[in-house]
Chains A and B, each alone.
Chain A
Amino acid sequence: MGFAGLIIIIFIYSLGIFAPVLQTHDYQAIDLSRTQHAPSAENWLGTDRAGRDLYSRVIWGIQTTVIITITTLITGSLLLGVTMGLVAGYFRGWIDAVIMRVGEVISAFPDILLIILLAATLRPRIVNFARDIEDNTGISGLVSSGVVDYIVIGIALLPLTWFGMMRLVRGQVLALREAEYIEAARAMGMSTPKILFRHILPNVVSPVIVAVSFGLGGVALSEVILSFFGLGVQPPRPSLGVMIGDVTARTGSGSVSVLRDHPEQLLAPIIVVWLMIFCWNIVGDALNDVLNPRAR
């Protein structure tokens, strides 16, 4: 079961990663002579109301999700969460108290609302900042390449990712720091960073892996939600959330007719989102059984 989930995830992710090779059309090429077409040999999943090829848009949308999940995984969960968990759990005292209280304040908010607030207030700041960089250094295309969108989403998703991971690692470290082999290492005069990374970190790896695979479905969904609201990835860059929003009611009454007449356009992006969340959960379950046999 978990293995099947993993294969599906690898398949979906490779669709996204190899999108430039696998696309059959340019994802933003508008062809008004072929709007709202049903799936055909020419357009494998049909076309949307602007005549854009849905298959190409879906795989590029997956690429967006892949980039977001991987960057938030590395920055939010691993760098911030694990480091802070190690520090808080090992040193305890005021540093632990500060990190925990900050986390408590952040987790006091309903997730989605907080993410929306962050994305909405930070976007113009970050876009302006990127424009300044473009103006002053001569690097061009920073804003139009979509990197800024990824940064905005990445920062907005941070509160979702770091605290859970930090609390998990902290709990493990709190137990480990009293272990005899750590005491022995300390007695032998080993430096603190060396103890942390050589002796403690390897022992928290397996719960971290489980937590990551449970969390990634949520991260993917949050990106889709942000883009659905129009706060994440901006058109013309494709995103599964933008595609879903185009068909459902995001833009108001105008698109209800699209939903009624062409509901099949929703199918591909939604199934991809659904599969991603479902499979990350199954993989998490399977990893949990394998890596933490004592948990159940």
Chain B
Amino acid sequence: MLAYIIRRLLWTPVLLAFAAFFVFMMGSIAPGDPAELVLGPRATKASIEKQRERMGLNDPIPVRYIRYIGGVVKGDFGDSYNYIGRTVLEIIGPKLWVSIQLNIASLIIAVVIGMPLGFYAAKRQGTKSDPAIVIGMLVLYAMPVFFTAPFFILFFAVKLHWVAAAGWNGFFSTQIILPAMTIGIPGAAIFVRHMRASTLEVIGQEYVRTARAKGMSSFVVNYRHVARNALLPIMTLLGFTLAGMFGGSLIVELIYGIPGAGRASLDAIFQRDFPILTALVLLGAVMLVLANLIIDIVYTIVDPRIKLQ
């Protein structure tokens, strides 16, 4: 197990270096000459050439890549082409933080709805409520955020006036509820599906029967023996689900007018500010890889039955 963890820890930086290389290459084949973008349309040829030299654009690709990754390690993703004089990190930092908060809120909603419902469906296997929950959640899962987001705005904000229709006011405000629900409900569907499957797996185990045979109350059996063990494999899903929700949150941010990574990446594309876009993509990958790494390691420690080679 230790060997596995060490191998994962050694491979992760290599993986991220390759990811950075990919992103760097995409950035360098992106349309537009960065020097021209920085200087604006009225720049002369000579000044553009000078700017290219200053930005190091005339160096060979490997040199530029090493310089790029050297900066990235220190948290320097270069300068924005559009907001002159500001670093990429200054611009995307706050926006990324907004997206992270939104995603955490959504994950909480997904877990709080999904886990108990999946557990309940598994306990009710053979009755009508099990397939009803499964199909109902599949309907919700398939529902595109394009539908839920405008529907929530129209119903809860425009019609009922419970919350503001759009905008961002921090994690602890009512405005986060609608977007977080929009992202969290399809996420909950994923948890229901897997929680149900893993509960069904545990419920048939012999130690559960033993616990029952010993005369333990069904509450204790359910929560100490079944739910706890059923939760273990779900942990590995967290990273995967978070990645899926992150994609959904880009759209949700646009519809709800939240100043997060989604808005930032779209603006970056249309302003040809590719350092911002590539930094966002790379940071997304870093967060995803690290989240999965931590989850996998914790998983191997928490569940001693896992033997990975």
User: A residues engaging B (CB < 8 A)?
Assistant: 101, 104-106, 108-114, 116-118, 120-125, 217, 221, 224-225, 228-231, 244, 247-250, 256, 259-260, 263, 266, 270, 273-274, 277-278, 281-282
Contact = CB atoms under 8 A, between A and B. Distances in A.
B144 A270 contact: yes
B246 interface: yes
B146 A229 contact: no
B142 A109 contact: no
Contact of A270 (B30, B146, B278): B146
Contacts of B281: 109-110, 113-114, 116-117
Contacts of A231: 269
Contact of B15 (A104, A116, A121, A273): A104
B246 A110 contact: yes
Contacts, number: 123
A105 B269 CA distance: 23
A113 to B, nearest CB: 5
B92 interface: no
Contacts of A225: 247, 251
B172 interface: no
B143 interface: yes
Contacts of A111: 243-244, 247
B221 interface: no
B142 A121 contact: no
A278 B31 contact: no
Contacts of B288: 108-110
Contact of A105 (B19, B141, B165, B266): B19
Is the interface on chain B under 10, 10 to 19, 20 to 34, or 35 or more residues? 35 or more
B146 A228 contact: yes
Contacts of A104: 15
Given A109-B288, A120-B277, A249-B257, A266 B143 contact: no
B104 interface: no
Contacts of B153: 259
A120 B146 CA distance: 21
7 contacts: A109-B285, A111-B247, A225-B247, A248-B146, A248-B150, A249-B255, A263-B154
B254 A112 contact: no
Interface in B216-273: 243-244, 246-248, 250-251, 254-257, 265-266, 269-270
Contacts of A101: 18
Contacts of B278: 117
